[in-house]
Amino acid sequence: MLIDDEADVRYSFERIFGSKNALQLSTAASGEEALVMIPEIKPDLVIMDVRMGGINGIETLQRLREFDAKTPVILMTAYGTTQTAIQAMKHGAYDYILKPFDVPKLEELVSKALDASRLMKQVVSCEPLSEKEDYDLGIVGQSSSMQEIFKIIGQLASSDATVLITGESGTGKELVARAIYNHSQRSKAPYLAINSAAIPENLLESELFGHEKGAFTGASSLRIGKFEQCDGGTIFLDEIGDMPSATQTKILRVLQDGVFERVGGDRSVKTDVRLIAATNKLPELAVSEGDFREDLFYRLNVVRVEMPALRERKEDIPQLVRYFLSRYSPDKKGIKTIQNDALALLQEYDWPGNVRELENAVQRALVMAKGDAILIDNLPHEIINQKLRDLGDDEGDDVEGLSAKLFNWARNNPDLKVIPAVERELVINALKETGGNQVQAAKILGITRATLRKRIEQFSIRQELSVE
């Protein structure tokens, strides 16, 4: 069955699937109409739009699940958002696809869903969780890798499984951990985030498990640790790969038996805590090198969430930039924009610091921007420098070759102020080379000291370098 309020879409599906002898296609123009038809025709698969007149696709899915927990449902929309993807999977959707879609891929997905339908008729399915208010996760992305992350978050909603989140620094591991918590059955219970690398090794065990009075010098009273404080809730252990061996052993026991001892104590303390761990290291490598317990790794690695680096999902950068602009613009009623050439430069940058670095770059650009839009001149100089370095790599170090590449770059970016951008970086590098000595820097650049001073003022270089 197809549910869509657009007649063109219904017609397209009839063209695609109506001619297939093995398939019988029924259509409905609204969620309300479909909910009346479904108990009568008992379809093997439901495909429906998210945005429809009347009740939307998510609400239709919720109502369907009240009397049918097994029929696979594929949601489709031209407006893919973090929340929609998560809510779709949370309420029991089979999958979630974005318009416009590739017909062969759609046919493949329908085939898989129909196979799943046949299998699900042989087993008992669990009822989905009830609806609750959603929230701003701060996780943004329409790339296929991020859509898979959102699906996993939704699938974990009804689970209490231990989760291991891996990925480079700045990829959003803590945001994913909080999203898992907020969509879980423990969302009303406590949530504690602990950075294992930020706590000294000699204090970490006491911080996590507490200590008895007199356990060590300075332990003047009983202290309740995080695992005891968070009983019934969720603990997020960030950078667990940096945790000392003794603490790893205690974590393992908590996961195995649900008990631990406070530092200096001999009495077992019971706790019911869901653990979400994260690391920016490759855990398999840490295990092979003896830095991480193998048995703990397998206990943590029940559900693995691998966060992609930003350079691997550059198609998400425009959406991320819009998100940060709306979040950090000084005047929320007049949110700043970004020019296309500046956005293109952001998409070409490698982002070693991942989403966190992009967030900082947008914040910096908002501070530097004087008009309604962010320009290339407002971006951090390391982003501009990478483009200039990339342009020079292919042509060698000769002036003629570099000039040709710069000219081509300027031609392809008509809004770019090439000469000021290059001139600014030359002045900065000359000042760095001479330790801020303006006389020597001017000599290197082949200009007078007075001209150099004008350039320093023009480019606001005093904000970045001491040139006195």
Provide the pLDDT confidence category of residue 135 given band limits of 50, 70 and 90: very low
**283 vs 301: CA distance, rounded Å:** 9
Do 201 and 242 share a domain, yes or no? yes
Do 71 and 174 share a domain, yes or no? no
Looking at the domain assignment, is residue 251 inside a domain?
Answer: yes
**382 vs 114: CA distance, rounded Å:** 51
pLDDT at res. 263: 86
List the domain range (segments joined by +) for residue 26. Answer: 2-120
Do 169 and 53 share a domain, yes or no? no
Do 17 and 98 share a domain, yes or no? yes
Do 173 and 299 share a domain, yes or no? yes
Do 192 and 291 share a domain, yes or no? yes
Could you tell me which residue, 388 or 377, shows the higher pLDDT?
377
Do 214 and 262 share a domain, yes or no? yes
Looking at the domain assignment, is residue 394 inside a domain?
Answer: yes
Do 301 and 337 share a domain, yes or no? no
State yes or no: pLDDT of 363 exceeds 70: yes
Could you tell me which residue, 201 or 131, shows the higher pLDDT?
201
161 torsion bin: left (phi>0), alpha (psi -120 to 50), beta (else) = beta
Looking at the domain assignment, is residue 410 inside a domain?
Answer: yes
Tens of pLDDT, residue by residue over 21-51, are 578 889 999 999 999 999 999 999 999 998 8
Cβ neighbors of 203 (< 8 A, separation 6 or more) are none
State yes or no: pLDDT of 122 exceeds 70: no
State yes or no: pLDDT of 351 exceeds 90: yes
Could you tell me which residue, 406 or 324, shows the higher pLDDT?
324
pLDDT at res. 124: 32
Give 319's Cβ-side CA count (13 Å radius): 16
Looking at the domain assignment, is residue 129 inside a domain?
Answer: no
State yes or no: pLDDT of 125 exceeds 60: no
**403 vs 409: CA distance, rounded Å:** 10
Cα first-last separation, the chain: 74
> Which SS3 state, helix, strand or coil, does residue 132 take?
coil
Looking at the domain assignment, is residue 72 inside a domain?
Answer: yes
- Does residue 216 contact residue 202 with C-beta atoms inside 8 Å? no
Tens of pLDDT, residue by residue over 288-309, are 998 899 999 999 999 999 999 9
Q: The domain that contains 116 carries what CATH number? A: 3.40.50.2300
The dihedrals phi and psi of 330, each to the nearest 5 degrees, come to -55, -40
- Does residue 327 contact residue 336 with C-beta atoms inside 8 Å? no
Eight-class DSSP state of 219: -
Q: The domain that contains 169 carries what CATH number? A: 3.40.50.300
Do 171 and 222 share a domain, yes or no? yes
Tell how far CA 119 is from the center of its chain. Answer: 33
- Does residue 336 contact residue 329 with C-beta atoms inside 8 Å? yes
* β-strand partners of 76: 49, 97
Could you tell me which residue, 61 or 120, shows the higher pLDDT?
61
State yes or no: pLDDT of 408 exceeds 70: no
pLDDT at res. 186: 94
* Spatial CA neighbour of 55 closest among 35, 80, 77: 35
Looking at the domain assignment, is residue 358 inside a domain?
Answer: yes
Determine which of 145-149, 164-168, 246-250, 435-439 has the lowest per-residue pLDDT on average: 435-439
- Does residue 307 contact residue 238 with C-beta atoms inside 8 Å? no
Do 337 and 396 share a domain, yes or no? yes
* Spatial CA neighbour of 61 closest among 86, 31, 82: 31
Q: In what order do the strands lie in the sheet with 27-28?
A: 27-28, 2-3, 46-49, 73-77, 95-98
Tens of pLDDT, residue by residue over 148-179, are 999 999 999 888 999 999 999 999 999 999 99
Could you tell me which residue, 126 or 63, shows the higher pLDDT?
63
User: What is the helix, strand, coil percentage profile of the chain, to 5?
Assistant: 50, 10, 35
pLDDT at res. 334: 63
What is the average pLDDT score of the chain? 83
Which of these three, 290, 306, 322, is where a domain ends?
306
Q: The domain that contains 419 carries what CATH number? A: 1.10.8.60
Looking at the domain assignment, is residue 468 inside a domain?
Answer: no
Do 294 and 335 share a domain, yes or no? no
Do 189 and 295 share a domain, yes or no? yes
Query: How many folded domains does the chain comprise?
Result: 3
Which of these three, 93, 120, 147, is where a domain ends?
120
Which of these three, 120, 138, 172, is where a domain ends?
120
Determine which of 110-114, 238-242, 345-349, 461-465 has the lowest per-residue pLDDT on average: 461-465
Tens of pLDDT, residue by residue over 196-220, are 888 888 788 888 998 888 777 777 7
**219 vs 216: CA distance, rounded Å:** 5
Looking at the domain assignment, is residue 223 inside a domain?
Answer: yes
